[in-house]
Amino acid sequence: MTLKLIDSAPQWPNGARCAVCISFDVDGETLVHRRFPDSAPDQVALAAQFRYEPAVAMPRLLKIFAAHGIRQTFFIPGWCIDRYPETIEQVLDGGHEIAHHGYAHARPNMQTPEAERESLQAGIEAIRRVSGARPAGYRAPAFQHSRHTISHLLDEGFEYDSSLFGDDVPYLLGDDTRSLIELPTDITLDDWTKFACLPDFGYMMPIASPSAALEMYKAEFEAAWRHNGMFVTVWHPFLSGRLARAEMIDQLLSHMQQKGGVWFATMSEIARHCRGLIDAGAWKPRTDRIPFSAGPLPSGTPG
């Protein structure tokens, strides 16, 4: 008998044991411009690594999703939406969700409140131009919320965020009077920890084999399945879209589908399902209020 380790899981549609969204952050060359603002045109080799995303990785990943009959979510900076219209068209033609990921991948907690709002609104407009609708969801660049982020998102009518690591299942995130759905993930489901070796960024971690990554992803999925949890990846096409790793994704999806009892959904579908349960009184998640603290520890606080 499996010991129950999640006490607050929502009931998933059709009796599914867990919800799965294979979400991707499509950062493209915004990372080059953020890291090297004055010399980006001369970072040719680095830029080529990120241009692999629209040229090769995205068509490959979309082919895998189509083969498995699933629609998923891509968090895309507005700059990339404007830069790569053919890629965006392919995403939309596949029925996938485009969610907000900043405009040029500036970290909100490194911006003024005014600059953060400007980036948010520019990204909204980029998505609206290509999809005809405002985005439902948001993931902060590098996960870096500021104390103002949630209030900005609520002001703009966002339904969900997926930037924080605060739970194993959805919960509510809000200010004093309002809330949205937080769809948490975890660093274990971020492919940077497995595959990123970027000397120009100071990332010199050993690269895991696809089989080692697959073993860990399977373990996380199996735990989510046993405990009615949620499995949300934060993968990047320039990393996980490489050939052997793409084969690993295909294998993981086959494993999940053969297991059964899995609800594959976009992030907005998960958020709306959870909101429906809340509105019906069928589920009561916990709520985190932002900011967590009003300021630094008072002077003289013992260390």
Residue 107 neighbours by CB distance under 10 Å = 17
Mean pLDDT of 110-123: 98
Q: Say whether 56 sits in a helix, a strand or coil.
A: helix
Q: Model pTM greater than 0.75?
A: yes
Residue 2's pLDDT band (cuts 50, 70, 90): confident
Residue 232's pLDDT band (cuts 50, 70, 90): very high
* Degrees to nearest 5, angle at CA 206 with 230 and 22: 25
* Degrees to nearest 5, angle at CA 244 with 240 and 246: 45
Dump the DSSP string for 185-196.
--GGGBTHHHH-
**Largest interatomic CA distance in the chain:** 61
111 pLDDT above the threshold of 80: yes
| Sequence ranges of the domains in the chain | 16-289
State residue 203's pLDDT score.
Answer: 85
Homologous superfamily, domain 16-289? Glycoside hydrolase/deacetylase (3.20.20.370)
Residues 270, 267: Cα–Cα separation, whole Å: 5
* Degrees to nearest 5, angle at CA 276 with 147 and 130: 65
State residue 153's pLDDT score.
Answer: 98
Cβ-Cβ contacts under 8 Å for 14 (sequence gap 6 or more): 263
Q: Is the dihedral of CA 236, 275, 261, 265 positive or negative?
A: negative
Dump the DSSP string for 207-258.
PPPHHHHHHHHHHHHHHHHHTT-EEE-BB-HHHHTSHHHHHHHHHHHHHHHH
Q: Say whether 49 sits in a helix, a strand or coil.
A: helix
State residue 233's pLDDT score.
Answer: 98
State residue 176's pLDDT score.
Answer: 84
Of 169, 180, 176, nearest to 290 (Cα)? 176
Determine contact, residues 235/23, Cβ cutoff 8 Å: yes
Q: Say whether 172 sits in a helix, a strand or coil.
A: strand
State residue 106's pLDDT score.
Answer: 98
Determine contact, residues 126/82, Cβ cutoff 8 Å: yes
State residue 289's pLDDT score.
Answer: 96
